[in-house]
């Protein structure tokens, strides 16, 4: 009885011990902090499938040693992260590596700090054009190839520069990583990227209704001003697209503001409705614009007199292009073009006309106005780009940052569009009247443009990674609602050939590590230290004979037992 009680008590005690041990393990797990030499924010190359074929960086997790470009020739890099600063980047080298599918543990491209919207600020970029071209070329290469290892971008800072200098030094000496010479291990603990389930696109539509006189039975004509707001770039978390199409959004908001001032007074309220559209899905053949237009009812669509799409108007010098898909002889096109070019002449600008026929059988939609043209609505795109961009190009890449955008260009673009619109609405065609003259109450507000441009230049806007009620989308809606009578938000799913994968940014931990050989050597030294200590203690306390007899004892004992 007493025995069983004792046993029960023992069991209880053991059980309580188990819980204590479990708690201990939980504590130990919590304590698993990372105390890395440095931790850097990194942005992963986009990973997507187009019609089922894989593109971009196919992996996210990283746990490899680092090497610089100075690695000794003939070294196996399949378990090594290559770290390349942009200023040392040799595009032919990277192209060769990717095209020949050479094994690599990972690739980390260091972008200059000035491009970072967090720390770069408004610093000036040196060798602007050279860097832009290099980045564009790198982006084109990376976005259109299937890369079977993680590719990350990071911004240079002091921490990573010292690490890089150390790695370079070791590589030049041709030494393997050891504790004393500083081997570095790059670790990004991320789960495998998952598909973005049913990515949404959000179109925002603002309506500014014109003055309807009682005798007017017909519906008022409508003019649409449209800009696509989302971006696509090599690194989705860095794709801020200041020019493409941040400049278009800013211009649209400013035009909405100017006309809301005019339309708030019944005397200056025009006899045209104004429709403002901020559309999503721009990089994917203007998928969002298409859905938005399809959602219109027939009467509204027919009432649209013409649509002006704003695309990349933030970094031009003196010439803008009007892209149309109807021949220039068309009366409506002529009207739009003349309206704009008359104002342009007064503003000392040049406006050119580019005509590109649409091919209905080709799924590629290069310009936003082509979606309108496909539904037989007269439309034109105003852009600084003279050549038609390819798919997934000029949609807000790595270089498309605040530094490359010129505010005054946007101010002039806004003036051009607003002035020509106003002349059309109030019937002042061909007359030299400045409605939005500088210094007047209707002048274009550069501060407003600048502040919005700054906000947009800090907001990555890749549509699949923007949720339905993303703060940015809500902010845009709120801003537009402040200028127009009525705002509608339309959610659509991004259908079609694209599939996207998440984990666009994470944190890179850089550890200084010792090699296994070092630890083996250390074990050897410690072992001999303990043996020497043991022998010393035995000799001093018991004498040398004892030490010798220690080694003799086992056989004698065996003899005894036998």
Partner 1 sequence: MTMFHFFNCAILTFGPHAVYYSATPLSEYDTLGTSVKAALVYLGTALVKLVCLATFLKVSENDGFDPYQELLKAVIGFIDVAGLYFALTQLTHRNISQNHKFQAVGLGWAFADSVLHRLAPLWVGARGLEFTWDFILQGLEANANLVLSISLAALGSLMWLRKNKPKTLIPIIYACAGIVATMPSITSYLRQGLGWHFPKVVGFELFTSLSMAFISWQLFSACQRPSS
Interacting residue with partner 1 among 2, 5, 35, 558 (CB under 8 A): 35
Residue of 102, 86, 184, 101 lying closest to 138 (CA atoms): 86
- What DSSP element (H or E) covers 7? helix 2-30
Residue 296 touching partner 1 (CB under 8 A): no
State in angstroms the smallest separation of the CB of 114 from partner 1.
30
93 vs 529 by CB, closer to partner 1: 529
Interacting residue with partner 1 among 534, 544, 553, 557 (CB under 8 A): 534
Whole-Å CA distances, 95 to 60, 69, 139, 147: 21, 14, 11, 11
Q: What is the DSSP letter of 231?
A: B
Interacting residue with partner 1 among 1, 2, 28, 447 (CB under 8 A): 28
Torsion of CA 15, 20, 26, 27, to 10 degrees: 180
State in angstroms the smallest separation of the CB of 176 from partner 1.
14
Using the rule CB under 8 A, give the single segment among 27-35, 252-260, 310-318, 462-470 that binds partner 1: 27-35
- What DSSP element (H or E) covers 10? helix 2-30
State in angstroms the smallest separation of the CB of 173 from partner 1.
19
- Counted residue by residue, the chain has a size of 562
Using the rule CB under 8 A, give the single segment among 26-34, 67-75, 272-280, 292-300 that binds partner 1: 26-34
Residue of 155, 281, 234, 195 lying closest to 499 (CA atoms): 195
23 vs 375 by CB, closer to partner 1: 23
Interacting residue with partner 1 among 71, 332, 472, 511 (CB under 8 A): 511
Interacting residue with partner 1 among 51, 541, 556, 561 (CB under 8 A): 541
Helix (H, G, I), strand (E, B) or coil at 418: helix
Opening angle at CA 44, ends 114 and 108, nearest 5: 70
Residue 537 touching partner 1 (CB under 8 A): yes
State in angstroms the smallest separation of the CB of 513 from partner 1.
5
387 vs 550 by CB, closer to partner 1: 550
65 vs 323 by CB, closer to partner 1: 65
448 vs 511 by CB, closer to partner 1: 511
437 vs 537 by CB, closer to partner 1: 537
Residue 39 touching partner 1 (CB under 8 A): no
Start-to-end CA span in the chain (Å): 44
Residue 548 touching partner 1 (CB under 8 A): no
1 vs 29 by CB, closer to partner 1: 29
Q: What is the 3-state secondary structure (H, E, C) of 58-106?
A: CCCCEEEEEECCCCCCCCCCCCEEEEEEHHHCCHHHHHHHHHCCCCCCE
**Under rule CB under 8 A, which residues in 512-531 are in contact with partner 1?**
512-514, 516, 519, 522-523, 526-527, 529-530
Cβ 411 vs Cβ 446: under 8 Å: yes
* Long-range CB contacts for residues 96-104, cutoff 8 Å, separation at least 24: 98/141, 98/142, 98/145, 98/147, 99/145, 101/148, 102/77, 103/76, 103/77, 103/78, 104/77, 104/78, 104/80, 104/149
Residue of 221, 424, 439, 240 lying closest to 342 (CA atoms): 424
Using the rule CB under 8 A, give the single segment among 3-11, 31-39, 455-463, 477-485 that binds partner 1: 31-39
Residue of 258, 264, 298 lying closest to 276 (CA atoms): 258
Cβ 351 vs Cβ 320: under 8 Å: yes
**Under rule CB under 8 A, which residues in 127-186 are in contact with partner 1?**
179, 185
Count the site residues for partner 1 by CB under 8 A: 31
State in angstroms the smallest separation of the CB of 514 from partner 1.
4
Instruction: Give the ranges where 347-396 is alpha helix by DSSP (H).
Output: 368-374
Residue 34 touching partner 1 (CB under 8 A): yes
Whole-Å CA distances, 240 to 188, 243, 245, 379: 24, 9, 9, 27
**Under rule CB under 8 A, which residues in 394-433 are in contact with partner 1?**
none
- Label residues 377-396 b or e (16+ Cβ within 10 Å = b): bbbbbbbbbeeebebbbbbb
7 vs 530 by CB, closer to partner 1: 530
State in angstroms the smallest separation of the CB of 153 from partner 1.
23
Interstrand relation of 304-311 and 379-383 (parallel, antiparallel or unpaired)? parallel
1 vs 27 by CB, closer to partner 1: 27
State in angstroms the smallest separation of the CB of 523 from partner 1.
5
State in angstroms the smallest separation of the CB of 526 from partner 1.
5
Using the rule CB under 8 A, give the single segment among 48-56, 64-72, 413-421, 534-542 that binds partner 1: 534-542
Residue of 141, 175, 153, 177 lying closest to 55 (CA atoms): 141
State in angstroms the smallest separation of the CB of 181 from partner 1.
11
State in angstroms the smallest separation of the CB of 78 from partner 1.
19
Name the site residues for partner 1 (rule: CB under 8 A).
Answer: 28, 31-37, 179, 185, 187, 509, 511-514, 516, 519, 522-523, 526-527, 529-530, 533-535, 537-538, 541-542
């Amino acid at each position: 009885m007493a025995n069983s009680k004792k046993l029960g008590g023992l069991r209880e005690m053991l059980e309580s011990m188990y819980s204590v041990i479990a708690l201990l393990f939980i504590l130990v797990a919590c304590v698993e902090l990372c105390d890395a030499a440095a931790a850097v924010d990194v942005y992963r190359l986009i990973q997507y499938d187009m019609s089922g074929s894989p593109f971009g960086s196919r992996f996210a997790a990283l746990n490899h040693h680092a090497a610089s470009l100075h690695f000794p020739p003939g070294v196996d890099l399949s378990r090594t992260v290559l770290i390349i600063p942009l200023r040392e980047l040799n595009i032919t080298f990277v192209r060769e590596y990717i095209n020949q599918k050479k094994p690599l543990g990972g690739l980390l491209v260091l972008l200059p700090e000035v491009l970072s919207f967090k720390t770069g600020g408004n610093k000036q970029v040196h060798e602007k054009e050279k860097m832009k071209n290099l980045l564009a070329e790198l982006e084109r290469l990376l976005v259109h190839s299937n890369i079977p290892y993680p590719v990350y971008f990071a911004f240079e800072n002091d921490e990573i520069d010292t690490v890089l200098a150390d790695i370079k030094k070791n590589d030049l000496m041709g030494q393997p990583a050891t504790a004393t010479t500083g081997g570095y291990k790059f670790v990004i603990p991320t789960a495998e990227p998952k598909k973005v389930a049913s990515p949404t696109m959000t179109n925002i539509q603002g309506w500014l209704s014109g003055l309807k006189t009682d005798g007017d039975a017909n519906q008022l004509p409508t003019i649409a001003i449209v800009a696509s707001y989302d971006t696509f770039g090599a690194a989705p978390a860095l794709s801020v697209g200041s020019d493409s199409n941040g400049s278009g959004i800013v211009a649209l908001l400013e035009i909405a503001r100017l006309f809301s001032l005019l339309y708030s007074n019944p005397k200056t309220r025009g006899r045209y409705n104004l429709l403002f559209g901020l559309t999503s899905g721009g990089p994917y053949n203007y998928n969002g614009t298409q859905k938005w237009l399809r959602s219109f009812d027939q009467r509204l669509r027919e009432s649209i007199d013409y649509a002006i799409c704003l695309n990349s108007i933030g970094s031009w010098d003196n010439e803008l292009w009007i892209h149309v898909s109807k021949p220039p002889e068309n009366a409506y096109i002529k009207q739009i073009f003349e309206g704009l070019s008359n104002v342009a002449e007064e503003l000392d600008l040049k406006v050119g006309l580019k005509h590109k026929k649409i091919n209905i059988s080709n799924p590629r939609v290069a310009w936003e106005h082509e979606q309108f043209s496909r539904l037989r609505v007269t439309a034109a795109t105003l852009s600084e780009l003279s050549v038609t961009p390819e798919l997934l190009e000029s949609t807000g890449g790595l270089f498309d940052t605040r530094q490359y955008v010129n505010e005054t260009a946007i101010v002039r673009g806004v003036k051009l569009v607003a002035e020509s619109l106003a002349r059309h609405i109030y019937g002042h065609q061909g007359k030299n009247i400045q409605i939005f003259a500088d210094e007047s109450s209707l002048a274009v507000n550069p501060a407003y443009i600048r502040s919005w441009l700054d906000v947009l230049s800090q907001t990555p806007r890749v549509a699949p990674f923007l949720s339905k009620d993303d703060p940015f989308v809500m902010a845009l809606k709120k801003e537009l609602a402040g200028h127009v009578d009525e705002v509608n938000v339309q959610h659509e799913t991004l259908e079609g050939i694209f599939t996207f994968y998440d984990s666009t940014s994470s944190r890179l931990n850089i550890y200084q590590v010792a090699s296994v050989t070092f630890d083996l050597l250390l074990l050897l030294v410690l072992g001999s230290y303990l043996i020497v200590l043991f022998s010393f203690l035995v000799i001093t306390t018991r004498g040398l004979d004892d030490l010798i007899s220690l080694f003799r004892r086992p056989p004698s004992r065996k003899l005894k037992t036998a």
